[in-house]
Amino acid sequence: MLKFSSKLKVGIIIIFLIVLLLVLNLTNFFKEIKNFFYLISSPFQKTLLTVGESTSDFLSGILEISTFKQQINNLYLKNQELTGEIVALKELKKENEALREALKIGLEKDFQLEAVNLVSKDISQDVILIDKGENDGISKGMPVITPQKVLLGTISEVYKNFSNVTLITNEKSSFDAKIVDKEIYGVAKGKGDLKLSLEFLPKDKTISSGDLIETSALGGVYPKGLLVGEIKEVKKSDVEPFQTAEISSAFSLKKLDILFVIKSF
């Protein structure tokens, strides 16, 4: 009898807890709690993040010392290639400016940006926490980019001083994307665990690995011309009406520090 009553007690407590959670979820109570906890722990998290980064750099330096030489060689070659390209592009820029002046078209105005810091990464992956929120004029749905103009994700939840960013690799995320220099449009879908794929590509178009992908203005979710990633592998099957491609995203979570929220575009 005593055993039964203690079991009953535990059951009642758990049911009470579930009801309490459900009711409190309807209010703003948990948002305040989260904001409070983020406020007191963000200084620790930032220091720990930098410590972790330096540890990771140290460890990877030891592990990858043999491949460094080859990598440096490759980078040197790539650098030379890009320098050549820059010279050519500078000429084009001059020409472009002259033509714009002749046609009297102003340059497109830049985005209104807000610089933010990465505080922590969510445990459930593909979501990060940044250190500005409602008080700084950030609202749901704003795109987030890195200083290199690489698309990172959108604001998905706003607290008073913090906000959550759902990365483009999250399973909930999907948006219109375009292959750079080719008029091929597709839908970029997050696959979780920092993986991304480009779907609904027409079958008759040729796509090769190494092609760059940028956002298109089609969905209206993101401004156009932001870098998304690079095609890693193309999957083509006779059964399916479209071809899909795996994308390796252009950002690396290990190297994120300062980010920008696009307030208007």
Partner 1 sequence: MLKKIIFFIFLFYILILLQTSFLIPLSISGIVPNLVLIVVILVNLFNRTSEISGLIVALIGGLYLDIFSMSFFGFFGFYTLISLIISLFLKFILKNYVKIPSLEKF
Contact between 139 and partner 1 by CB under 8 A: the answer reads no
Does residue 164 touch partner 1 according to CB under 8 A?
yes
Asked if 190 and 170 touch (Cβ cutoff 8 Å), the reply is yes
Question: What is the dihedral sign for C-alpha 113, 118, 124, 125?
Answer: positive
Beta strands in 12-160 (DSSP E): 112-121, 127-130, 143-145, 151-158
Q: Does residue 236 sit in helix, strand or coil? A: coil
Distance of alpha carbon 124 from alpha carbon 229, whole angstroms? 23
Helix (H) or strand (E) segment spanning residue 103: helix 65-103
136-139 — which CB contacts under 8 Å span 24+ positions? 137/263, 138/114, 138/163, 138/261, 138/263
Q: What percent helix, strand, coil does the chain show, rounded to 5?
A: 40, 30, 30
Contact call for residue 99 and partner 1 (CB under 8 A): no
Q: Residue 74, interface with partner 1 (CB under 8 A)?
A: no
Q: Which of 66, 124, 148, 208 binds partner 1 (CB under 8 A)?
A: 124
Q: Is 253 in the site for partner 1 (CB under 8 A)?
A: yes
Which residues make Cβ contacts (< 8 Å) with residue 35, sequence separation at least 6? Answer: 133, 159, 160, 161, 162
In 3D space, the residue among 51, 250, 242, 68 whose CA is nearest the CA of residue 150 turns out to be 250
Q: Taking CB under 8 A as the rule, does residue 39 contact partner 1? A: no
Smaller CB separation from partner 1, 88 or 123 = 123
Stretch that binds partner 1, among 54-62, 91-99, 177-185, 228-236 (CB under 8 A): 54-62
Question: According to the binding rule CB under 8 A, does residue 156 interact with partner 1?
Answer: yes
Q: Applying CB under 8 A, does 55 fall inside the site for partner 1?
A: yes
**How far is it, in rounded angstroms, from Cα 203 to Cα 192?**
25
Q: Which is nearer to partner 1, 10 or 105 (CB)?
A: 10
Name the segment binding partner 1 (CB under 8 A); options: 96-104, 125-133, 145-153, 196-204: 125-133
- In the region spanning residues 17 to 36, those forming contacts with partner 1, defined by CB under 8 A, are 17-18, 21-22, 24-25, 30, 33-34
Q: Measured from the CB atom, is 56 or 112 closer to partner 1?
A: 56
- Both tokens of 167, joined, read 């990365």
Question: Which 187-226 positions form the footprint of partner 1 (CB under 8 A)?
Answer: 193-194
Which of 58, 68 has the CB closer to partner 1?
A: 58
Q: Is residue 180 within the footprint of partner 1 (CB under 8 A)?
A: no
* Closer of 69 and 255 to partner 1 (Cβ): 255
Among 116, 127, 207, 259, binds partner 1 (CB under 8 A): 127
Binding site for partner 1 (CB under 8 A): 10, 14, 17-18, 21-22, 24-25, 30, 33-34, 37, 41, 44-46, 48-49, 51-53, 55-56, 59, 119-125, 127, 129, 156-157, 164, 166, 193-194, 253-254
